[in-house]
Amino acid sequence: MKASLNGKLQNVKWGEYKLEDLFTSSNGDVDIQKRHINGYGDLVITAGLVNNGVLGKTDIPAKLFDSGTITVDMFGYAFYRAFKYKMVTHARVFSIKPKFTITKRQGIFLSNALHFLHKKYGFENMCSWEKIKTENILLPTKKEHIDFEFMENFIAEIEASYIAKLNAYFVDAGFKNYVLSEEEKSALNDLKIVQWKEYKINRFFVYQPIKHKLSKKELSDNFKYPAYSSATVNGSMVGYANSAEFICDKNVPLYVTFGDHTRVFNIVKMSFSVLDNVKVLKPRIFNENILMFIIAAWTKQIPNCGYARHWKIAKQCCVPLPTRNGQVDFDFMEKYISAIQKLIIKKVALFIEKNY
């Protein structure tokens, strides 16, 4: 499939098109901030790759942008939006609207064709419409016009390939069973009435000193062990190292890493090393579902716990956790995360059944 797709890209005729001839640009009109995100109203777009730039929902009055458009942020990251949305103004993100009607697949193709922008722009040189409107974009061309049919079929073929792989993975992993048990149903229903108590985070984790923090120059795709950074993409993995500082075996099945600045947590179940700006913790509890619950609670509390750069500060953070008879209710946490996983699996499984 990959060879087939690469062959199609190599064989198609390409043409150059100036962005201002294809799109019009506009900006948000309200300085939407995190305190305005309340879970109601419309999705809000900000800069960055986390959640594809979706900050959350707000019902604060602000300009509403059409679906079928593309957002580009100050880093040059572009995403097609198949929904109506609002945009922040303080994070340097703008919307570009095609001067022609496009389908979702064609919009995805166009946004990916803009990925060259993030190699040219960043903090030191922020992307803006004024800077890029005279840039040329390469697009499939037929009879001196954009070949929209090729774009549509190409993305459709990619989708079919990934759906087939996803279906095979679900079958092999045994994820076809997404029926909730009575205990899992009870955990979902009881969340609002469960008793909560605060516990210091160092009750659940032990700080692991790092002897050697790698530099990117030490990484290579030819090496064996994954290396983690504080990046927010690709599960924070940035390459491979020649040796592992932290060994995950049957006695220590997993570790937890988190970035100093991004506060992105990862549960790591294989031997690994880290780059700078990463902390490594050894859990005192090796149940992955329970760890996921604790990490989620910790993530929500970090803004109230001071700067997490230093473990001596982070370890004092108190997180609210379900409690029964004066003790942490680990059983509830395990069942609740299991239920959430099954609900997600159900959505994916139904998506596969509909499209495969």
The verdict on 86 and 218 lying in the same domain is no
The verdict on 145 and 247 lying in the same domain is no
Residue 13, pLDDT score? 94
Residue 95 belongs to domain with CATH number: 3.90.220.20
Residue 182, pLDDT score? 94
- In-domain check, residue 275: yes
- In-domain check, residue 302: no
- In-domain check, residue 174: no
Q: Is the pLDDT of residue 3 over 60?
A: no
The verdict on 139 and 210 lying in the same domain is no
Q: Which of 277, 297, 317 is the last residue of a domain?
A: 297
The verdict on 94 and 8 lying in the same domain is yes
Tokens of 226: 């994954």
Q: Which of 257, 282, 297 is the last residue of a domain?
A: 297
- In-domain check, residue 324: no
Q: Which of 297, 320, 335 is the last residue of a domain?
A: 297
Torsion, CA 296, CA 298, CA 300, CA 304, rounded to 10: 180
- In-domain check, residue 336: no
More confident residue, 317 or 103: 103
The verdict on 135 and 257 lying in the same domain is no
The verdict on 135 and 11 lying in the same domain is yes
| pLDDT tens string 167-185 | 887 777 667 678 899 999 9
| pLDDT tens string 194-227 | 999 999 999 999 988 888 888 888 888 889 999 8
Q: Is the pLDDT of residue 315 over 60?
A: yes
Number of separate domains in the chain: 2
Instruction: Categorize the per-residue pLDDT at 264 as very low, low, confident or very high, splitting at 50, 70 and 90.
Output: low
- In-domain check, residue 276: yes
Q: Is the pLDDT of residue 49 over 90?
A: no
Tokens of 196: 């909560």
The verdict on 148 and 281 lying in the same domain is no
Please measure the distance between the N-terminal and C-terminal CA atoms of the chain and give it in whole angstroms. Answer: 16
The verdict on 125 and 14 lying in the same domain is yes
Instruction: Categorize the per-residue pLDDT at 277 as very low, low, confident or very high, splitting at 50, 70 and 90.
Output: confident
Q: Is the pLDDT of residue 306 over 80?
A: no
The verdict on 74 and 131 lying in the same domain is yes
207-232 burial string, b = 16+ CB within 10 Å, else e? ebebeeebeeebbeeebebbbbbbbb
Predicted TM-score of the model (pTM): 0.67
The verdict on 133 and 12 lying in the same domain is yes
Which residue range forms the structural domain that includes residue 276?
200-297
The verdict on 68 and 144 lying in the same domain is yes
Q: Is the pLDDT of residue 57 over 90?
A: yes
CB-CB neighbours of 305 under 10 Å: 16
d(CA 207, CA 335): 27
